[in-house]
Amino acid sequence: MVKAVGLFFICVAWAFGSESVYERHCVPCHKDMPVKIDKFFYRYLLKYSSETEVKRAMTHYLKNPTKETSILTDGLINRFGVKKKTMLSDVALSEALDTYWETYKVFNKLK
Amino acid sequence: MLVLKNWDTNLRSREKKTLWSFLFLYAFLVLISLFFVAFLYYDLQRELFLQHQKEALSNLTNEQINRLRTLHVNFDKERLYPRDERFNSAIYDSGLHEIFSTLRSQNVNLYDDIYIKEHKIYFIKELESYYLGARYIALEVPEPAHWDKKIYRTLFLYGGIIFALTVLIGYFLLKLLLRPMRDAISLLDRFIKDTTHELNTPVNTILSNIEMIDPKQLDPSLLKKINRITIASKTISNLYDDLTYLILSHRLSSHDETVDLKLLLEERLEYFSLLCESKKIRVGACLEANVVMSIDRKKITKLLDNILSNAVKYNNIGGTIDVELHDKLIRISDSGRGMDASKTKHAFERYVRFDRSVGGFGIGLSIVAAIAKEYGLSVDIESKRDEGTKVSISW
Query: What CATH number has the domain bearing residue B266?
Result: 3.30.565.10
Interchain CB distance below 8 Å, A47 and B99: no
**Residue B263, domain member (yes or no):** yes
Q: Is residue B13 part of a domain?
A: yes
Q: Does B180 touch chain A (CB under 8 A)?
A: no
| Predicted local confidence at residue B282, as pLDDT | 92
Which chain A positions have a beta carbon within 8 Å of B130's beta carbon?
A: 45-49
Surface of A (60-99) touching B: CB under 8 A: none
Q: Which of B186, B213, B244 delimits the end of a domain?
A: B186
Contact B115, B109 (CB under 8 A): yes
Q: Which residues of B touch A109 (CB under 8 A)?
A: 79
B contacts of A50 (beta carbons < 8 Å) = 93-95, 97, 133, 135
B77 lies within 8 A of chain A by CB: no
Q: Please tell me whether residues B155 and B282 are part of one structural domain.
A: no
- DSSP at B335: -
Q: Per the domain annotation, does B193 fall within a domain?
A: no
Which residues of chain B are under the pLDDT cut of 50?
1-10
Cβ-Cβ contacts under 8 Å between A and B: the total is: 53
Amino acid B44: pLDDT? 94
Number of domains, chain B: 2
Q: Kindly determine whether residue B95 and residue A109, on different chains, have CB atoms separated by under 8 Å.
A: no
Is some CB atom of chain A closer than 8 A to the CB atom of B93?
A: yes
Identify the residue among A46, A51, A56 best suited for mutation to test binding to B, counting B beta carbons within 10 A and taking the highest.
A46
Q: What is the pLDDT of residue B361?
A: 60
Residue B44, burial from CB neighbour count under 10 angstroms (0-12, 13-18, 19+): exposed
Asked if the C-beta of B102 comes within 8 angstroms of chain A's C-beta atoms, the answer is no
pLDDT computed for residue B298 by the predictor: 83
Taking CB atoms and an 8 Å limit, are B95 and A51 in contact across chains?
Answer: yes
Residue B227 lies in a domain: no
Amino acid identity, residue B155?
L
- Kindly list the averaged pLDDT for each block of 10 residues, start to end, along chain A of length 111: 46 55 88 85 92 94 90 84 88 94 92 90
A-chain residues near B75 (CB < 8 A): 42, 106
A-chain residue closest to B69, CA distance: A46
pLDDT at residue number B320: 92
Give the span between the Cα atoms of B58 and B124, in whole angstroms.
9
Sheet architecture: strand order including B388-394:
B282-287, B320-326, B329-334, B388-394, B378-384
What's residue B188's pLDDT?
A: 79
Question: Would the CB atoms of A111 and B130 count as touching at under 8 Å?
Answer: no
- Per-residue pLDDT at B251: 59
Identify the pLDDT of residue B7: 36
> How far away is chain B from the Cα of A103, in angstroms, using its nearest Cα?
12
Domain-ending residue, one of B186, B203, B225:
B186
Q: Tell me, what's the pLDDT at B359? A: 58
By the CB < 8 Å criterion, does A47 face chain B? Answer: yes
Across the interface, do B132 and A38 touch by the CB < 8 Å criterion?
A: no
3-state helix, strand, coil in chain B (%, to 5): 55, 20, 25
Amino acid at B86: R
Written as one letter, the residue type at B316 is N
Based on the fold, state whether residues B178 and B257 are members of the same structural domain.
no
Burial A27-51, CB ≥16 within 10 A → b, else e: beeeeeeeeebebbbbebbbebbbb
User: What are the C-alpha distances in Å from B313 to residues B309, B320, B340?
Assistant: 6, 12, 17
Q: Say whether both B173 and B316 belong to one domain.
A: no
Residue B39 structural domain: 1-186
Residues B223-241 pLDDT 10s = 888 888 887 887 788 777 7
How many alpha carbons fall within 13 Å on the CB side of residue A74? 0
Residue B79 · residue A110 · CB < 8 Å: yes
In a domain, B211, yes or no: no
Are B93 and A50 an interchain contact pair (Cβ–Cβ within 8 Å)? yes
Contact A49 B76 (CB under 8 A): no
Q: Does residue B208 lie in a domain region? A: no
Q: Is B276 exposed, middle or buried (0-12, 13-18, 19+ CB in 10 A)?
A: buried
Domain end point (choices B159, B186, B213): B186
A45 contacts chain B (CB < 8 A): yes
- Residue B178 forms part of a structural domain: yes
**pLDDT, position B45:** 93
Same domain, B40 and B134: yes
